[in-house]
Structure 1
Amino acid sequence: MLSNPPFGVEWKKVQKEVVDEHKLKGFDGRFGPGLPRVSDGSLLFLLHLISKMRPVGEGGSRIGIILNGSPLFTGGAGSGESEIRRYVLENDLLEAIVAMPNDMFFNTGIATYIWILSNHKSKEHKNKVQLINAAKMGESMRKSLGSKRKELKEASIDDITRLYGAFEENEISKIFDTTDFGYRRITVERPLQLSYYPHDSERVDALKEDKAFVKLDKALQDEILTALADIKEEKISDRELFAKKLDVKLTASQFKLIQKHISEHDDEAVLCRDKKGKLEANPDLRDNENIPLSESIESYFAREVKPHVPLAWIDEKKTDDKDGKVGIVGYEIPFNRHFYEYVAPRALEEIDAELDAVTSEIMKLLKEVHS
């Protein structure tokens, strides 16, 4: 099957039907793996074609579909796009992706890619994906046709076909395991450490102007402001001590409202703990790390995170819906990264010489103007 669906077309007009099929039919329908964002239906076309593949027992099928760059990487772990890529790769359906030259189409000059999928891979292709970078094989046309300024000559098409058939690596052909494109996104937490500044006028003014504070009973507002003014210390780096000094009966949300404006993170402050004695996380310092599926979470965390933030920990409640393990699995295919060629910057002397030449030319022109 061959397909060249429109690039980046939104599917809002059929959103209800597509969402219903996804929810009600699941994998018995076309869109079981997931749904992409409404603004780009490219991956819906891909799922539609996959649903039309003949079973392996009946000979199987091979698909060739032209897509733009978005389906390669759009959407983080757990997103609809990532889940679709996950389905394709974990079911070993992707055989190869070929990067085409720009300016190959009449109405757009964007980068395009041919995805080749198969459900009856040969033994040597099992659990492998070949990336072929044919982006530089295009030749300029004598006369442009709209945005189409380049074409692939027969010789270039033959070269691409041979690369695909040979299934070998060289400077424009690389072979990966399907799991090389997968990662596990973990949530890294850091402890809540706060210092409070009860006499900072800007902070107190911000508290007064907060809509949530304005809605409080006037008597409670006055009590809070008076209590802040009565605290002798300019800075308190201990939450429990601050609450004791404040000495106002507050709900948890009311105390957090004050804390929001009066405090800030301080690495030297006392660690905040909950009623069970466990460290509380600071949501403002929450971060994510994408760890390759081939690597242990523990070893990665010990090597890449702990040396820089010793008090950090992994939120083990964030688990993947499918395998139940810590971290959410995601898949992306960073095609250009695998074919990136480093270009060294020009020598500083060369740049200086060029600037001097340009400056001299400008001065010469200015003299001519004033003469």
Structure 2
Amino acid sequence: MKLFETKQMNILQYESKIWATADLLRGCGIKESEWPSFMMPFFALAMIESRLVRMFDDLKKEIGEDAFAKIHKDDLYDLIKDKGQGYNIFIFEKSQSLTDICKNDKSFEIDFDAYLKGFDGETRDLLGVDASEGEKFLDIKGVITKLKAKKVLFSYTKLWAEIDLKPFNNSEITTLEEHIKRKWADISAETAGEQYTPDDVIALIAEIIASKIEESDTLLKIYDCTCGGGNMLFGVEDRINQKFKRLTQTYGQDWNDALYALAKIESRFRPDSKIEHGNTLVEDKFYNEEFDVVIANPPYGVSWKGYQKDIENDKTDRFKYLPSISDGQLLFMQHLISKLDSVGMGVVVHNGSTLFSGDAGSAESNIRKWMLDSDIVEAIIQLPTDEFFNTGIYTYLWVLNKAKKAHQQDKVILIDASKKFAPLKKSKGSKRKEVDEVNRLDIVATLNAFQDSDYSRVFEKEFFYFNKQAIMLTNIDEQGLTFEEQLPLVKDKSGEMKRVSSIKLPPIKIAQCDIVLTEFSITKYDTLQYGDLSNYYMSAIKPLVSQFDYKEHPLVITTQDSKYYYDADQETLIKESGSTKEALGCGKIIITASYKKATKKLAERIEVIVSLTADYQKDYELIPFHKDPATNQSAIEAFMARYVSKPFVFLENVVGVELNFNKVFYKPEILRSVNEISAEISVLDKALKKLEAELAL
């Protein structure tokens, strides 16, 4: 480990030198947010050349200098091609590097163009050497055009040529790449919603995975569906390889052109690594593969509206439910679960919304329920705030496991690792903390102990379930009466006696404050008689009726023999006949109006209907869940009996799932005693009096 850390420190000395190339970009007026697009292709050049030279030197040693010198050019090409790491005419046939190209400023542009075109076809595509339309990946051609216009192409290329990475191996170069890409992510405006995974989180993920796997002669397949530039995918692989002799193979996919190109270039210098370009959610390039380990840090809060139809028409059966279109995190989660083999495990980084967004019955809640029902969630680990480079929010590791041990089955452990960090001596953007090695090992030990501790709790999975019980309340007045009791009973088609839904009144006048509807037809009680009925209905009656509110303002319905109105103080309908007032119970006054064209039997008219109905109100109660159906129903009924006093009927019950860290780990602030506060006030009071006395002197 010490040797690895020393080598890591050696290569990180180049970080400042690489970043110094941006000084030239700043000097010629290139915006900071554009620096990554100028630096990426040249950093890729430095990585490719160093690795090709290293591979070439190793090949010479393997074959022997004398034998190597006798190899025909075509045979040499085949030998190098078999390595699958790329080819360059200048490096392999002319023994020239980018440094040599930069020695002559007079012929530089011609030589540099020939050097770039001397790469194999795939490398040229990834660098964007011949890019015109469509995918440009690193678009070095476009960058060169801009640098030429600024008249700094030669000086900029020369700076990169001075960065010699040849002494370092693949893993060490990957470490440097991770640090450089982190800085790019920190300044790039294109990374909104995408969080670059810092080294310490990658190390924690690797430790978790390492604790779940064993030495074996079988291949360990690791997959990242949003691999970006490959920092997490390759970082986890390197750390696994430090701990195990087991062979590993990495698979990744990303749709960001430049980051994909960086990951693809990196993959060529790793044993049988496979990186594909494209949107994982729309086109899974590894549709026929399953994996031992899945990892990902998918974008947070990013809309999938742009490819909504593709997701809705997906035929792979990987998406059980479709979450809110504004955030695709749980789409990636479902995809990753579908990629696990029968005993696979995974670690996925999410923000807090995946824990609690969406009400019971929503897609988000249903996805969480499906995951817990499937018993695939082993743990959720809350990381400290200020852990990621461009956000200060809490983030969470979901630990998935399809081979949970017997004592873990149907259970989930929550680990509050929000305090398990060491402060950085110097902030890196928004990152002010890191989960250092001591804390990483402690977290992993807590995960595998799978028991309650100061910062962990184990729960039956049903602990996170809850009933959202819908009920239809019948509101009552101050006397406990409801208008429902006034509704007549009639036989329905089956012969069962049921109450009608309302009683219709024959009004001769409807009034609310100074708003009055009058002149009802004597022969048709609910019809208003006016001149131009169609225009009058649209301009006056329709907007007027929509304003009527029987609770906010007194609304009086006058019939031939009575008046009806709602008494807000008693919350009841009143029927007033002469000097007699009768409370009818809590109910509603509903007024509707509609325009009717003339028919053969009826004239053109405006029909106004007044109905008295019971005051029904749909409501929901959130009630703890029990996995036994009979116990669950009894608990619901006991809850209703205790907390709901109005008449009601049960409607649908929906089971939701929410994982609430605050609820589990909340520690109330311990308030000081009254005596302690009084004593402190007394001391302050004496001090004030002393000051007043001194001022009076």
TM-score of the aligned structures, taking structure 2 as reference length: 0.39
d(CA) in 2 for partners of 1:111, 1:226: 58
Does the 8 A contact of 1:213 with 1:257 survive in 2?
no
Provide the residue aligned with 1:43 in structure 2.
330
SS of the equivalent of 2:364 reads: helix
| C-alpha RMSD over aligned residues | 4.2
Shift of 1:121: 1.8
Unaligned 5+ runs, structure 2: 1-293, 484-510, 518-536, 545-554, 579-587, 593-610, 692-697
Matching of residue 180 in structure 1 with residue 473 in structure 2:
no
Shift of 1:282: 1.7
Provide the residue aligned with 2:672 in structure 1.
346
CA distances 1:29-72 after superposition (whole Å, capped 9, x unpaired): 221x2111122211111111112112x1xxx2111001111111
Structure 1 pair 108/287, CA: closer, same or farther in 2 (3 Å)? same
Shift of 1:102: 0.9
CA distances 1:243-292 after superposition (whole Å, capped 9, x unpaired): 999xxxxxxxx95128xxxxxxxxxxxxx998xxxxx5622x62323331
Shift of 1:308: 4.0
Provide the residue aligned with 1:145 in structure 2.
428
Shift of 1:130: 1.1
Shift of 1:98: 0.8
Shift of 1:216: 5.8
d(CA) in 2 for partners of 1:34, 1:206: 53
Shift of 1:18: 1.5
Provide the residue aligned with 1:82 in structure 2.
365
Provide the residue aligned with 2:654 in structure 1.
328
Does the 8 A contact of 1:96 with 1:129 survive in 2?
yes
Does the 8 A contact of 2:564 with 2:573 survive in 1?
no
Matching of residue 282 in structure 1 with residue 616 in structure 2:
yes
Structure 1 pair 340/235, CA: closer, same or farther in 2 (3 Å)? closer
SS of the equivalent of 1:307 reads: helix
Provide the residue aligned with 2:298 in structure 1.
5
After TM superposition, list the pairs within 5 Å mapping 1:1-371 onto structure 2. 1-21=294-314, 25=315, 28-31=316-319, 33-54=320-341, 56=342, 60-193=343-476, 204-205=512-513, 214-215=540-541, 227=558, 231=562, 242=575, 256-257=590-591, 282-283=616-617, 286-294=619-627, 296-316=631-651, 318=652, 327-351=653-677
Does the 8 A contact of 1:182 with 1:331 survive in 2?
yes
Structure 1 pair 154/335, CA: closer, same or farther in 2 (3 Å)? same
Structure 1 pair 331/204, CA: closer, same or farther in 2 (3 Å)? same
d(CA) in 2 for partners of 1:16, 1:293: 38
TM-score of the aligned structures, taking structure 1 as reference length: 0.70
Structure 1 pair 294/345, CA: closer, same or farther in 2 (3 Å)? farther
d(CA) in 1 for partners of 2:404, 2:636: 36
Provide the residue aligned with 2:249 in structure 1.
none
Provide the residue aligned with 1:264 in structure 2.
none
Provide the residue aligned with 1:249 in structure 2.
none
SS of the equivalent of 2:425 reads: strand
Shift of 1:169: 1.8
d(CA) in 2 for partners of 1:45, 1:206: 60
CA distances 1:293-329 after superposition (whole Å, capped 9, x unpaired): 347344334433323433333423x2xxxxxxxx111
Does the 8 A contact of 2:466 with 2:622 survive in 1?
no
d(CA) in 1 for partners of 2:622, 2:647: 12
d(CA) in 1 for partners of 2:632, 2:615: 20
d(CA) in 2 for partners of 1:93, 1:206: 66
Q: Please tell me the residue identity of whatever aligns with 1:227.
A: T
SS of the equivalent of 1:215 reads: helix
Deviates more, 1:233-242 or 1:120-129: 233-242
Shift of 1:363: 11
d(CA) in 2 for partners of 1:49, 1:176: 24
Structure 1 pair 364/234, CA: closer, same or farther in 2 (3 Å)? farther
d(CA) in 2 for partners of 1:217, 1:335: 49
SS of the equivalent of 1:63 reads: strand
Q: Please tell me the residue identity of whatever aligns with 1:8.
A: G
Structure 1 pair 97/234, CA: closer, same or farther in 2 (3 Å)? closer
Provide the residue aligned with 1:200 in structure 2.
none
d(CA) in 2 for partners of 1:238, 1:90: 46
Deviates more, 1:80-89 or 1:170-179: 170-179
Deviates more, 1:157-166 or 1:12-21: 12-21
Structure 1 pair 358/83, CA: closer, same or farther in 2 (3 Å)? farther
Does the 8 A contact of 1:188 with 1:289 survive in 2?
no
Shift of 1:242: 4.1
Structure 1 pair 141/193, CA: closer, same or farther in 2 (3 Å)? same
d(CA) in 2 for partners of 1:208, 1:273: 19
Report which structure shows greater RCO (CA 8 Å, sep ≥6).
1
Shift of 1:146: 0.4
Shift of 1:205: 3.6
* Count of residue pairs the alignment pairs up: 313
Does the 8 A contact of 2:357 with 2:364 survive in 1?
yes
Deviates more, 1:167-176 or 1:62-71: 167-176
d(CA) in 1 for partners of 2:338, 2:690: 70
CA distances 1:66-112 after superposition (whole Å, capped 9, x unpaired): 11111111111110100100110001110111111111000001001
Deviates more, 1:307-316 or 1:105-114: 307-316
Does the 8 A contact of 1:5 with 1:45 survive in 2?
yes
Does the 8 A contact of 2:566 with 2:574 survive in 1?
no
SS of the equivalent of 2:642 reads: coil
Does the 8 A contact of 1:185 with 1:291 survive in 2?
no
Does the 8 A contact of 2:475 with 2:647 survive in 1?
no
Deviates more, 1:184-193 or 1:77-86: 184-193
Structure 1 pair 232/34, CA: closer, same or farther in 2 (3 Å)? closer
